[in-house]
Amino acid sequence: MVRVETVQPLAGYRLKIRFNDGLEGVYPVEPEKRGGVFLRLTNPEIFNAVRINADFGCVEWPGGIDLCPEAMHRTMTGVESEVELDAAAALREAPKTQ
């Protein structure tokens, strides 16, 4: 199970992250693109209050805003785009049923 071990807020709504498997990098949160409750993160006080949820290993902010560590990890490793491409190819190659 992928878990976030350390998190540090950076300028530009980015997070410096280290996962329990050793992967480290910068994750762009992009609250404007996410919309909804994530727009609250455009407030620097709220964004900088990021912490790690000890139970789930995810990053979270006050008000119940959180990010899935597995999704963050996939984005940072580029695996997400490969998975999406594989899924799209599988749909194109799936035999038609009648």
Cα–Cα distance for residue pair 68/59, rounded to 1 Å: 8
CA angle 59, 62, 63 (to 5 degrees): 110
Cα–Cα distance for residue pair 50/62, rounded to 1 Å: 8
- Could you tell me which residues are beta bridge partners of residue 58? 53
Whether the pLDDT of residue 98 is over 60: the answer is no
Q: What is the model's pLDDT at position 86?
A: 53
CA angle 8, 66, 37 (to 5 degrees): 110
Cα–Cα distance for residue pair 89/49, rounded to 1 Å: 41
Query: Could you tell me which CATH class the domain 4-93 is placed in?
Result: alpha beta
Cα–Cα distance for residue pair 32/40, rounded to 1 Å: 9
Q: What is the model's pLDDT at position 95?
A: 53
Write the pLDDT tens digit of every residue in 9-35: 999 999 999 999 999 999 999 999 999
Q: Average the pLDDT over 89-97 and give the result.
A: 52
Q: What is the model's pLDDT at position 67?
A: 96
Q: What is the model's pLDDT at position 79?
A: 75
Write the pLDDT tens digit of every residue in 29-88: 999 999 999 999 999 999 999 999 999 999 999 999 999 999 999 999 987 544 444 554
Q: What is the model's pLDDT at position 83?
A: 46
